[in-house]
A and B are shown apart, each in its own frame.
Chain A
Amino acid sequence: MTSIPLFHVLILSSLLFVIGFIGVVARKNTLFILMSLEVMLNAVGVAFIGAGSVWQQADGQVMFILILTLAAVEAAVGLALLIRMQKKYRSLDIDLLSQLKG
Chain B
Amino acid sequence: MNVLLASLPFYPLVSFLLLIFFGKKLSWQLAATISVSSMAIAALVSAMLLVDLSVSQHQVMTVNLWHWFDLSSESGNAEVNVRFYLDGLSAVMISVVTGVGFLIHLFAAIYMKSDANFSRFMAYMNLFIVAMLILVLADNLVLLYLGWEGVGLCSFLLIGFWYQEKANVLAARKAFIVTRIGDTSMVIGLLLLFNTFGLLNIEAVTTLAKQANELTGGQNTALGDDIYWIALLLLGGAVGKSAQLPLQTWLPDAMAGPTPVSALIHAATMVTAGVYLIARMHGIFLLAPEVMNYVAWLGALTLLLAGIAALAQTDIKRVLAYSTMSQIGYMMLALGAGAWTAGVFHLMTHAFFKALLFLTAGAVIYALHHQQNLFKMGGLLKKLPFESGLFIIGLICLMALPGTSGFFSKEAIIAQLWSSETAGPMLWWCAILGALLTSIYSCRLFFLGFLGNCRFNEKAQPDKSTLLRSALAVLALLSLFGGLIPLDLSLVFTMATQLPLVQGMEPNWLHTVAIVTPFIGILFSWFYFKSYRITSDVATKHVLPINEGRLVRFCRQGLGFDSFYNSLLVKPYQWLAQINKNDIFDQFIMLNVWYVNLWHDALILVQNGSLRWYLAAFGLAIMLLLGVSSL
Contacts and interface: CB of A to CB of B under 8 A. Distances in A.
Interface in A18-38: 21, 24-26, 28
Interface in B290-330: none
Contacts of B611: 94, 97-98
B609 A99 contact: yes
A25 B616 contact: yes
A24 B33 CA distance: 93
B575 to A, nearest CB: 46
B609 A25 contact: no
Contacts, number: 31
B389 interface: no
A101 B607 CA distance: 6
Given A21-B619, A102-B604, A26 B609 contact: no
B604 A98 contact: no
Nearest to A27: B612
Q: Using C-beta atoms within 8 Å of the partner chain, give the interface range for chain A.
A: 10 to 19
Nearest to B619: A21
Contact of B607 (A24, A26, A97, A102): A102
B568 interface: no
A94 B295 CA distance: 91
A26 B619 contact: no
B615 A98 contact: no
Contacts of B604: 102
B75 interface: no
Interface in A67-85: none
Contacts of B609: 97-102
Contact of B615 (A25, A28, A95, A101): A25
A80 to B, nearest CB: 18
B498 interface: no
A25 B612 contact: yes
B486 to A, nearest CB: 91
A90 B540 CA distance: 98
Contacts of B619: 21, 25
B608 interface: yes
A2 B609 CA distance: 48
Contacts of A28: 612
Nearest to A28: B612
Contact of A94 (B608, B612, B616): B612
Interface in B580-608: 604, 607-608
Nearest to A98: B609
A24 B616 CA distance: 9
A100 B606 CA distance: 12
A98 B607 CA distance: 10
A61 to B, nearest CB: 26
A85 B543 CA distance: 95
Interface in B504-562: none
B35 to A, nearest CB: 66
B629 interface: no
Contacts of A98: 608-611
Contacts of A99: 609
Nearest to B611: A94
A99 B611 CA distance: 11
B434 to A, nearest CB: 80
B612 A24 contact: yes
B544 to A, nearest CB: 78
Interface in B604-631: 604, 607-612, 615-616, 619
B627 to A, nearest CB: 15
A95 B604 CA distance: 17
B610 A95 contact: yes
Interface string B187-208: 0000000000000000000000
B618 to A, nearest CB: 9
A14 to B, nearest CB: 11
Contacts of B607: 100-102
Contact of A101 (B608, B612, B616): B608
A24 B608 contact: no
B615 A24 contact: yes
A23 to B, nearest CB: 11
Interface string A52-78: 000000000000000000000000000
B609 to A, nearest CB: 3
Nearest to B612: A25
A94 B612 CA distance: 8
A102 B607 CA distance: 5
A102 B608 CA distance: 6
A4 to B, nearest CB: 25
Nearest to B616: A25
Nearest to B604: A102
A91 B610 CA distance: 16
22 contacts: A24-B612, A24-B615, A25-B612, A25-B615, A26-B612, A28-B612, A94-B612, A95-B612, A97-B609, A97-B611, A98-B608, A98-B609, A98-B610, A98-B611, A99-B609, A100-B607, A100-B609, A101-B607, A101-B608, A101-B609, A101-B610, A102-B607
Interface of B: 604, 607-612, 615-616, 619
Interface of A: 21, 24-26, 28, 94-95, 97-102
Given A94-B610, A98-B610, 8 more contacts: A24-B615, A25-B619, A28-B612, A95-B610, A97-B609, A98-B611, A100-B607, A101-B610
Closest 10 A/B residue pairs (Cβ): A98-B609, A101-B609, A25-B616, A100-B609, A25-B612, A25-B615, A98-B610, A94-B611, A101-B608, A95-B610
